[in-house]
Amino acid sequence: MASLSVPFSDCVIRGSLLPRRRLSPCPAGVASLPAFLQGRLVLFMFDYVLLHVSALKSHGTKFSHNVSNNHIFASVADVSLEQSLDDVHLPKGEMWSVHKFGGTCMGTSRRIQSVADIVTNDSSERKLVVVSAMSKVTDMMYNLVDKAQSRDDTYMSALDDVYEKHMLTAKDLLDGDELVQFLSQLHHDISNLKAMLRAIYIAGHATESFSDFVVGHGELWSAQMLSSVIKKSGKDCTWMDTRDVLIVNPTGSNQVDPDYIESEKRLEKWFEQNSAGTIIATGFIASTPQNIPTTLKRDGSDFSAAIMGALLRAHQVTIWTDVDGVYSADPRKVSEAVILNSLSYQEAWEMSYFGANVLHPRTIIPVMRYNIPIIIRNVFNLAAPGTMICQRAVNDNAEGHNLESFVRAFATIDNVALVNVEGTGMAGVPGTASAIFSAVKDVGANVIMISQASSEHSVCFAVPDNEVKAVADALKSRFSQALAAGRLSQVEVIPNCSILAAVGQKMASTPGVSATLFDALAKANINVRAIAQGCTEYNITVVLKGEDRIRALRAVHSRFYLSKTTIAVGIIGPGLIGGTLLDQLRDQTGVLKEEFNIDLRVMGIAGSRKMVLSNTGLDLTRWRELQNEKAEEANLEKFSQHVHGNEFIPNTVFIDCTADTGIANHYYDWLRKGIHVITPNKKANSGPLDRYLKLRALQRRSYTHYFYEATVGAGLPIISTLRGLLETGDKILQIEGIFSGTLSYIFNNFAGERSFSAVVAEAKQSGFTEPDPRDDLSGTDVARKVIILARESGLKLELSDIPVENLVPEELRSSASAEEFMIQLPDFDEELSKKRIEAEAAGEVLRYVGVVEVSNARGRVELRRYKKSHPFAQLSGSDNIIAFTTMRYKDQPLIVRGPGAGAQVTAGGIFSDLLRLASYLGAPS
């Protein structure tokens, strides 16, 4: 027997430390050195023994140990590799299913039992189950190493916490010999860890291999416990220390590359001695080619499962987690995000890169080689089928696909900065881009995205926020001469950005996807700073302000019909019209949400004195009660910030149901901030011309919408009809109409022996007039409608340019009150009665009309006479009627007729504008 004597106070064999006394004496010849160097030498000797003893073990060496004078003597005997048990070959293929359970799944004894039940209920012929350490244990183990190398004495008590956690869990799960065996091994491992941590404590430093060795124990204990629980149920089960099987080559980028050929050989050899129907394997840990323990780094358990699935050629790999599958967007940011039934490998890869909680990209690589699907499932909801990640079906180009079938999901990377290098000296100069990214590489920064103009005038790229200063300094140093000479104009840093990526199979080659994406962002008033689109067709990437990331995510998600079109609504003026609108919304929002994918959330209601706000949407069945129960003092600025400030709702609309000039003066600022405006308030469009032109110019150059159909005809389509005529190339000659429902009612009933004052009194009593009828009889309201139509027709007129025939007798215009006016009005009936009699004698009727003469660039409001055969003479009730005389409708005017007053029809017109807005924002039309 050949022998090798290794004098040392300890020895590492099979990845664990042999029992020995506490590590206090130093090896001979070391005690005289300073304490700092003693620790370094002890650690060096640990690494030496770990390397050489493990190498001997891999060549079939047997070890025995004798403890004498703090020395261990290891004997080496030649053992033939051909001396094995029965010749058992590793079967591969469809009979294998691979499962992976993360730390959350293994968090408590109850959860471990649930995992055991899932495994035993799997009907696959053979199963390999990869497990992580119990929840939080990996962090606890890293903390042990940190404490020890920081010479923090509390590492001992922290290790006791680790021991107690596993001891108590085992006592809940196991009994009899299985419990005794596990606790014995646990105690043994803890003793070894104490010695190891003591060495680290003395050295004040832990090598990566020592740290990996300590941290990997969590997986060992999880695998042993789960294996014992499954064996309790009578199943054929064993556990695998994957450090005996998985061989990886560490790289310089905190990653490892699996050695599949060597790992496959070791797996076959392991199976010869450990054949079982169910194998519980440790995740996260592996070995180097020199048999030194290492890890697969963070998310390593998923990687372990994928590697094992590839080695076994399994029919599928199931990753068990605490969510129902892969979402179309982060559900914490988009509450309407949906679970995706399937994703291609490439789509999952892209989503992972852009921060989606799917899988690490490297996890997908092993299974892609053999087209092994990965299924993401929820361990706490077995009824959910999960998301399958697989090779895309061949018939993916089948007809019937729409845009949303190509855009599968959206993801974001937050806390990034843009670096823009630009200058005319870059154009056509070879090596500029190479020099830029060489400088970035030198500071070790991670470039997330690159965008370069085809003119080569500028290059911009995104890096993490915490790396941008070093990058900018390096670039300014590298190009100092070019900057000084003016060949480069600047190295600009744009901080606080986010990256939004749309991910989908063949998405980039599908017409309309990019247009829809950018249209959705524009209509949510979100500016894009940079764009990148890969030729691989799997993603379109944009950079935007960090503060816009959630609104952007929700805007594009809803636009592609992956969720409802959600609009935050602020109602200003809950009076007769506003209150009626709120009641209509109450009755219809459920239908809109279920049948039309439109989610209207009334986030606030503001009156002149009080307002009520909500973070999620007011209960419209109780909006009147809430105004009393939860009202606060009205503050329009606070109201605006609250309704528009909800980053989870990308679109905001304010509906002004007042007739207040002060409210109308806010429209420009609201539109500039990206707040859509809908109103029946005529004050903005009939106010000062320069303000109106400024408002319309802003509306035309932005994607913010301003709808005001109800300003002219209540619920009648007057504005939209006029726009339709103009946009199709028709020329407006004249617009003439009865625009006031009040005056329509009055003159429709002003006939026979009835006096004008009696008809006005009847209209007031029936609710057709304003509280003060002079507001209707003055003709000002009709004049405002005329000026709105004149301006829509292209005329630049002020309200003062419109002559108005005032029906209020001059003597009564200064009456103290409406009541006083009504008392005195009968004294002035004679003049209007005379006009009525004269008209009737000529076979005509009186009608109060507004006229826009486009060809003469003028308008007026007056009392006119019409033949009884004229359409204006045939109205009833409070109907409005408008006649458009155009080049196309010259001989026979185009007439729009219908109810033009009343809270129900006016609120209905506003509601129609709201639905039109939803359609423009992406809802099905």
Output the CA–CA distances (angstroms, integers) from residue 810 to 271, 769, 781, 826, in the order listed.
Answer: 108, 20, 18, 14
Percentage of residues in the chain having pLDDT higher than 70:
86
* Banded model confidence at residue 250, pLDDT cuts 50, 70, 90: confident
Domain boundaries, the chain: 96-321, 407-561, 565-713+913-921, 718-901
The pLDDT assigned to 78 comes to 36
- For residue 43, pLDDT over 70 is answered with no
Residue 57 has pLDDT above 80, yes or no: no
State residue 41's pLDDT score.
41
Asked whether 909 and 714 are in contact (CB, 8 A), the reply is: yes
Query: pLDDT digit string (tens) for 743-783?
Result: 999 999 998 889 999 999 999 988 788 889 999 999 999 99
Burial environment of residue 805 by CB neighbours within 10 A (0 to 12, 13 to 18, 19 or more): middle
What does the DSSP 8-state code read for residue 467?
A: G
Contacts of 111 (CB under 8 A, 6+ apart): 104, 105, 379
Residue 138 has pLDDT above 80, yes or no: yes
3-class SS letters over 595-659: HHCEEEEEEEEECCCEEEECCCCCCHHHHHHHHHHCCEECCHHHHHHHHHCCCCCCEEEEEECCC
Whole-number Å distance between alpha carbons of 529 and 122: 50
The pair of structure tokens assigned to 95 is 């009979």
In terms of phi and psi (left: phi > 0; alpha: psi -120 to 50; beta: otherwise), the region of 511 is beta
Distance CA 743, CA 847 (A): 8
Encoding tokens for residue 620? 């419209």
CB 878 within 8 A of CB 901: yes
pLDDT value at position 359? Answer: 80
Q: Looking at the predicted structure, is the pLDDT value of residue 402 above 70?
A: no
Identical fold, 96-321 and 565-713+913-921 = no
Q: Is residue 44 very low, low, confident or very high in pLDDT (cuts 50, 70, 90)?
A: very low
Cα separations in angstroms, 560 against 320, 413, 548: 29, 20, 18
541 Cα distance to chain centroid: 14
Residues 6+ apart with CB under 8 A from 98: 127, 128, 129, 130, 305, 308, 309, 312, 314, 316, 317, 318
Q: Is the pLDDT of residue 110 over 90?
A: yes
Cα–Cα distance measured from residue 392 to residue 225, given in angstroms and rounded to the nearest whole number: 38
pLDDT score of 431: 73
114 touches 173 (CB < 8 A): no
CATH of the domain spanning 407-561: 3.30.2130.10
C-beta pairs of 78-86 under 8 Å, 24+ apart in sequence: 78/1, 78/2, 84/272, 84/273, 85/272, 85/273
For residue 302, give both structure tokens.
Answer: 């998923």
Do 854 and 795 touch, CB atoms closer than 8 A?
A: yes
Backbone angles phi, psi at 655, to 5 degrees: -115, 110
Contacts 24+ apart (CB under 8 A), 59-68: 63/11, 63/13, 65/11, 65/18, 67/20, 67/21
b/e burial code for range 364-375 (CB count within 10 A of at least 16 → b): bbbbbeeebbbb
Which residues are known catalytic residues? 785
DSSP at 548: G
CATH code for residues 565-713+913-921: 3.40.50.720
The residue type of 342 is S
Report CA torsion sign: 451, 453, 454, 458: negative
What is d(CA 271, CA 265) in angstroms, rounded to the nearest whole number?
10
Contact 287, 256 (CB under 8 A): no
Assess if CATH 3.40.1160.10 describes domain 96-321. Answer: yes
**246 and 263 in contact (C-beta within 8 Å)?**
yes
What percentage of the chain carries pLDDT values higher than 90? 59
Give the mean pLDDT of 2-30.
Answer: 36
- CB burial of residue 784 (10 Å; 0-12, 13-18, 19+): buried
DSSP per residue, 311-337: HHT-SEEEEEESSSS-BSS-TTT-TT-
Tokens at 810, concatenated: 């001059």
Of 157, 319, 136, residue with least CA distance to 222: 136
Does residue 197 contact residue 152 with C-beta atoms inside 8 Å? no
Residue whose pair of structure tokens reads 């372990």 in the numeric block = 304
Residues in a beta bridge with 491:
421
For 834, the token pair is 């005379």
Summarize the confidence of residues 387-401 as an average pLDDT: 60
Q: Which amino acid is at 614?
A: S
The alpha carbon dihedral of 239, 244, 249, 250 has a sign of: positive
Whose CA is closest to 238, among 261, 265, 266, 272?
Answer: 272
Is the pLDDT assigned to residue 335 strictly greater than 90?
no
| Rounded average pLDDT over 146-174 | 95
Task: Report the C-alpha gap between 488 and 478 in whole angstroms.
Answer: 12
**Does 251 have pLDDT greater than 80?**
yes
The answer on pLDDT for 396 being more than 50 is: no
Query: Looking at residues 206-215, what average pLDDT do you find?
Result: 89
What's the pLDDT score for residue 815? 85
Please list, in sequence order, all residues whose beta carbon lies within 8 angstroms of the beta carbon of residue 648, skipping any fewer than 6 positions away: 333, 334, 335, 550, 551, 554
* Degrees to nearest 5, angle at CA 465 with 459 and 468: 50
Q: Residue 52 — very low, low, confident or very high, per pLDDT cuts 50/70/90?
A: very low
Question: What pLDDT sits at residue 56?
Answer: 37
The whole-angstrom separation of Cα 270 and Cα 445 is 42
Mean pLDDT across the chain: 85
Q: Does domain 718-901 have CATH number 3.40.50.700?
A: no
Q: Which of 12-16, 116-120, 210-214, 714-718 has the lowest mean pLDDT?
A: 12-16
Instruction: Tell me the pLDDT tens digit for each residue of 847-895.
Output: 999 999 998 999 999 999 999 999 999 988 889 999 999 999 998 999 9
pLDDT at 646: 81
475-498 average pLDDT score: 89
SS3 12: strand
Radius of gyration, CA atoms only, the chain:
40
Q: How confident is the model at residue 380 (pLDDT cuts 50, 70, 90)?
A: very high
The per-residue pLDDT for 88 is 63
- Which residues are within 8 A (CB) of 340 and not within 5 positions of it... i.e. 6 or more apart? 325, 326, 327, 328, 387, 408, 409
* pTM score above 0.75: no
Which H or E run includes 806?
none
Map tokens 């988009």 to a residue. 334
Which residues are 280's β-sheet partners?
A: 129, 239
CA distance 110 to 372: 31
**Over the stretch 254-285, which tens digit does the pLDDT of each residue have?**
788 999 999 999 999 999 998 889 999 999 99
The residue with tokens 């005794």 is 180
Asked whether residue 434 carries a pLDDT value surpassing 50, the answer given is yes
Residue with tokens 């450990």: 274
pLDDT at 45: 44
pLDDT surpasses 60 at 83: no
Which residue do the tokens 């439109």 mark? 598
Burial class for 537, CB neighbours closer than 10 Å (0-12, 13-18, 19+): middle
